[in-house]
Amino acid sequence: MTYVRTDDFDVYYESHGEGPALVLLHGGGGNHAAWWQQLPHFSKSYRVITPDLPGFGLSKVNKGVYDTALHPAAIEAVLDDAGVDRAFIVTQSLGGYGGLSYATSHPDRIAGIVMTSTLGPVGDEISDLNKIGRQSVQHLSVADFLLTKEFQEKQPEKVGLFFQIGSFNETGPGRPTRMKNALIGSVGVQQIRDAIEAGQHVSVLEGGADVMVYPPAYARLRELLPEANVQLVEGAPHSDYWENPERFNAVIDEILARVYSPAA
C-alpha cells in the first residue's frame, strides 16, 4: 500500500503497468477502485496511476475541511512520490476540478488532460452557463444523476458495486461529510489557452446522454476556445467509464494517440 503523507493529507495511490504515465482521477462517487474496467486496458501500454483524492477511499484529510482546493497539491505529491516527471491526466466529474487546476498551471509536467463529465472548474462565461445545467438536475437522486435509469434497471449488480465502492468515501455525493468545492470556476479560458500554447493537449468530452450536461455551455466553450478539443460523445452518460467502459476506453485511446504513441 503506497501513501504520500503530508501535514494536510495522507493520499493513497496505486501504480500499474509500464510506459508513459497516465493518471486517472475519479469522480465524487468513486475512488481508485472505480477504475477497475480501465486498469486492464490501459496498463498494457501505460503506467497507470490511480490516486484516492483526499477524503475518498483510503485517503484522509489531516486538518481543515474536505475541499477540492487540496486536490492539486495531492496530485503533485503523488507524481513526486511515484517519480513521474510528466504525465497525462484523465478525469471524471469531480476529478476535473483538481485535475484542470493542476494541469493548466503545470504544462511542463502535464502532457495533456481529458475532462469527462464536467465543466465545473472552467470559469468566465462557462461557469455561469454551467450553473444553469446544474440547477436543472438538483431534483434528481444521487443514483439518477450518476447512473442512467436504463443501466439501473438492466445491471443491478454493477449498480450495487458502484455504490459499494463509493461507501468507502468519507465525502462526496450521499456520504456523511460535506465537501467544499473552492475550485468551481477557478480556471479561466485564457489560462487553458496559455497551457495549450505551451504544448499541452486539452480535451473536454460532452456526454450526449449526460443529465449534467448543459449543451449551450459546451457550444460556447467551442467558440471561446477553438484550440481545445471539445468533443461530443454520442450516447455517453455521466458515468460512461462505468456503464460503457469499451466506448470510454476507445475514446481515451484515440485522444492519447494524438499526444504520444503507447510504444513511446
Give the number of other Cβ atoms within 10 Å of residue 229's Cβ: 17
Higher pLDDT, 259 or 192: 192
Spatial neighbors of 30 by CB under 8 A, at least 6 apart, are 56, 92, 165, 166
- Reference 69, options 49, 39, 94, 106; nearest CA is 94
Q: How confident is the model at residue 264 (pLDDT cuts 50, 70, 90)?
A: very low
pLDDT tens for residues 80-90?
Answer: 999 999 999 99
pLDDT tens for residues 16-66?
Answer: 999 999 999 999 999 999 999 999 999 999 999 999 999 999 999 998 899
139 domain-assigned:
yes
Angle 143-146-151 from CA coordinates, rounded to 5°: 75
60 domain-assigned:
yes
Q: Reduced to 3 states, what is the DSSP secondary structure of residue 261?
A: coil
Least confident range from 36-40, 69-73, 257-261: namely: 257-261
What confidence score (pLDDT) does residue 63 get? 87
H-state helical runs in the chain = 39-42, 71-82, 95-105, 125-135, 142-146, 149-154, 156-166, 189-197, 215-224, 240-243, 245-259
190 domain-assigned:
yes
Q: What is the distance of C-alpha 58 from the center of its chain?
A: 18
Partner residues linked to 4 by β-bridges: 11
Helix (H) or strand (E) holding 4: strand 2-5
264 domain-assigned:
no
- Reference 35, options 248, 259, 251, 254; nearest CA is 248
pTM for the full model?
0.97
Angle 108-113-115 from CA coordinates, rounded to 5°: 150
DSSP secondary structure code for residue 49 in this structure: E
pLDDT tens for residues 178-235?
Answer: 999 999 999 999 999 999 999 999 999 999 999 999 999 999 999 999 999 999 999 9
pLDDT tens for residues 98-148?
Answer: 999 999 999 999 999 999 999 999 999 999 999 998 888 888 999 998 999
User: CATH no. for residue 162?
Assistant: 3.40.50.1820
What confidence score (pLDDT) does residue 61 get? 96
Q: How confident is the model at residue 149 (pLDDT cuts 50, 70, 90)?
A: very high
pLDDT tens for residues 4-20?
Answer: 999 999 999 999 999 99
115 domain-assigned:
yes
Cα–Cα distance measured from residue 161 to residue 159, given in angstroms and rounded to the nearest whole number: 5
Give the number of other Cβ atoms within 10 Å of residue 16's Cβ: 16
Handedness of CA 244, 245, 249, 252 (dihedral sign): positive
Q: How confident is the model at residue 79 (pLDDT cuts 50, 70, 90)?
A: very high
Q: How confident is the model at residue 261 (pLDDT cuts 50, 70, 90)?
A: low
Q: Which domain holds residue 155?
A: 2-259
Number of domains composing the chain: 1
Q: What is the distance of C-alpha 129 from the center of its chain?
A: 20
DSSP secondary structure code for residue 53 in this structure: P
Q: Are 101 and 186 in contact (CB under 8 A)?
A: yes
Q: Are 152 and 158 in contact (CB under 8 A)?
A: no
What confidence score (pLDDT) does residue 260 get? 77
Cα–Cα distance measured from residue 77 to residue 59, given in angstroms and rounded to the nearest whole number: 13
107 domain-assigned:
yes
What confidence score (pLDDT) does residue 133 get? 85
202 domain-assigned:
yes
Higher pLDDT, 241 or 1: 241
